[in-house]
Amino acid sequence: EPEVTQTPSHQVTQMGQEVILRCVPISNHLYFYWYRQILGQKVEFLVSFYNNEISEKSEIFDDQFSVERPDGSNFTLKIRSTKLEDSAMYFCASRYTGGLAFFGQGTRLTVV
């Protein structure tokens, strides 16, 4: 069964450092997403990406965040200068068309 793969599963970084979270969506999918979940809290939308550009982003997705699909397979989320409050589980998702999105297992980011 096809799946969305995220790496690493856990990343620890120092405050102020840049971090890149990587995702490999399902190969024929067209829409890509990043969500985050602060421990024990709700799942929050960050950004959606289609046709090589951001289609929508939330208030959380400020200038410190960026996304890229550099080679047609990977979909990355970069945080330029991490803050303590960026500590969360980050989920990547993709879908072809229609409503069903497939989620990765998540990357737990810990900022110290």
Partner 1 sequence: GDSVTQMEGPVTLSEEAFLTINCTYTATGYPSLFWYVQYPGEGLQLLLKATKADDKGSNKGFEATYRKETTSFHLEKGSVQVSDSAVYFCVRSLNRDDKIIFGKGTRLHILP
Residue 61 as a binder of partner 1 (CB under 8 A): the answer is no
Beta-carbon contacts of 96 under 8 Å, excluding residues fewer than 6 positions away, are 26, 28, 29, 30, 31
Judged by CB under 8 A, the chain residues 1 through 30 that form the site for partner 1 are none
Concatenated DSSP letters of 76-104: EEEESS--GGG-EEEEEEEESSSS--EE-
Comparing CB distances to partner 1, the nearer of 28 and 97 is 97
Reduced to 3 states (helix: H, G, I; strand: E, B; else coil), residue 55 is strand
Residue 103 as a binder of partner 1 (CB under 8 A): the answer is yes
> Segment near partner 1 (CB under 8 A), from 16-24, 63-71, 74-82, 92-100?
92-100
Q: Which residues bind partner 1 (CB under 8 A)?
A: 31, 33, 35, 42-45, 48, 50, 55-56, 58, 89, 91, 93, 97-106
